[in-house]
Amino acid sequence: MTAISTRDIVLIALFAALTAALALFPPITLPLIGVPITAQSMGPMLAGAVLGARRGALAMGLVVALVALGLPILSGGRGGLGVFAGPTVGFLLGWIPAAYVTGLLHELGWNKLTALRSFVFATLGGIVVLYGLGVPVLAVQAGLSLKAAALGSAPFIPGDLVKAALTAAVALSVKRAWPIIRARDIATA
Amino acid sequence: MSPLHRCPPGPKLATLALAGTGLMFVTNPFAMLDFLALTLLGFHVAGFGGARIWRQIRPMLWMLAVLFLVQGGLAGWTLAALIVARLLTLMLLASLVTLTTRTEDLIATLERLLTPLAPLGVNPAKVGLAVSLALRFLPVIAEEAERVREAQAARGLGTHPLALILPLIVRVLKAAEEVAEAIEARSGHDDGPALSR
């Protein structure tokens, strides 16, 4: 594993700050479903798709650390150690593996990246992995059954699919204009 | 400064960790209310009034309300009250720790807590640098986001999310490049592979 360069640290720090800044965007409410979509949960997908697995996961780890330090950087002005006692803590901690998986898939498929593939990668990392961790933690923290926790989380999935599509568009544009990720072989993954 | 403000971060964090585990074993709702009252007393000792407490509770209010209704309908209202009181107590206690501890002290504690992880490749100084950089650039990026949004509204592009996020990300990536160069130019001497490329 190569050492983390100054450039890597800056990219990690700036993406953590960007994810925090996404909390300031006003939420959009989807018609029909009525669940507010916040821009912030795009952070892990974007970090993975733009920075790659390791730096993306570290950027999200930094966001988690900043929240623990008490900064009110989560959407709705939440922050502080209190969040870690809350029922949705799994979705926050899940940002780290979500960014990692999104990034790893992008690295593996980097040379043949298409919008559709990037969308699938962001969905696998930012939705499948995230909910895979967030839903069971919600069930435990809130004393709900797994099914009830899953049903309660499901209305957010359409919004997350929109975010995965936006992430794919961003990933392709960044790949063309300012590539950060380097392709990785299956063998070294 | 209250005694809670003067108390070093270590004991406060330890108390919080202990409460996080310990309160799981409290099964009597009235006993839980005692712990909630104790936490509120802590706010009073720290010199925070009702308005400050309300500001901590407000963001989590709807979530607690939904939880109470779902839990009450599924498993009974006593259990619902117990769970909501436990979450409220823990969240308030955690907020109390954050409110009475300066961010610099928490960063210093974080660096110290990370020191044992150094053999695993965690460099506490690098983590400290990343945290300070993120804190420094948070307001800059937030301002930049606002500016992009205004510029696009002025050009009549509306608020298409992609038109907003893409320029922002490209600017952040360019800024990262410049900041990295500035840090390396200024650090001058080579502090090993850690801070050089």
State whether B135 and B75 are in the same domain: no
Task: Report the CATH number that the domain containing residue A21 is assigned in CATH.
Answer: 1.10.1760.20
Asked whether residue A100 carries a pLDDT value surpassing 50, the answer given is yes
Q: Is B196 in Cβ contact with A70 (below 8 Å)? A: no
Quote the CA–CA distance of B49 and A92 in Å, as a whole number.
30
Name A36's bridge partners.
Answer: A29
Do residues A77 and B59 touch, judged by C-beta distance below 8 A?
A: yes
Q: Looking at the structure, tell me whether residues B81 and B23 fall in a common domain.
A: yes
Q: Do A19 and A59 form a contact (C-beta atoms < 8 A)?
A: yes
3 state SS of A37: strand
CB contact under 8 A, B138 and A12: no
Do the domain assignments include residue A119? Answer: yes
CB A174 within 8 Å of CB A180: yes
Please write the tens of the pLDDT for every residue from B67-125: 788 778 877 888 888 888 888 888 788 888 888 988 778 778 878 877 887 787 778 87
The larger pLDDT score, comparing residue B60 to residue B185, is at: B185
- ipTM for the whole complex: 0.84
User: Does one domain contain both B9 and B94?
Assistant: yes
Residues B23 and B80 occupy one common structural domain: yes
Q: Tell me the pLDDT tens digit for each residue of B111-163.
A: 887 788 778 777 887 888 888 888 778 878 888 887 877 877 787 766 677 77
Decide if A16 is inside a domain.
yes
Q: Do residues B87 and B8 both lie within one domain?
A: yes
Structural domain span for residue A86: 6-188
| Overall average pLDDT of the A12-29 stretch | 83
Whole-angstrom CA distances from B177 to A55, A185, B174, B183, B197 are 15, 26, 5, 10, 13
List CB contacts of A77: < 8 A, sequence separation 6 or more. A23, B59
pLDDT-derived band at B184 (thresholds 50, 70, 90) equals confident
In a domain, B112, yes or no: no
- Window from A67-71, B38-42, B158-162, B186-190 with minimum mean pLDDT: B186-190
For residue B122, what are the domain limits? 118-187
Q: Count the domains in chain B.
A: 2
Residue A1 inside a domain? The answer is no
Closest Cβ opposite residue B75 in set A3, A141, A143: A143
Mean pLDDT across chain A:
88
Specify the DSSP class assigned to residue B101.
S
Residues of B in Cβ contact (< 8 Å) with A145: 74
B86 and B14, same structural domain?
Answer: yes
The answer to whether A69 contacts B103, with C-beta atoms less than 8 Å apart, is: yes
The answer to whether position A93 is within a domain reads yes
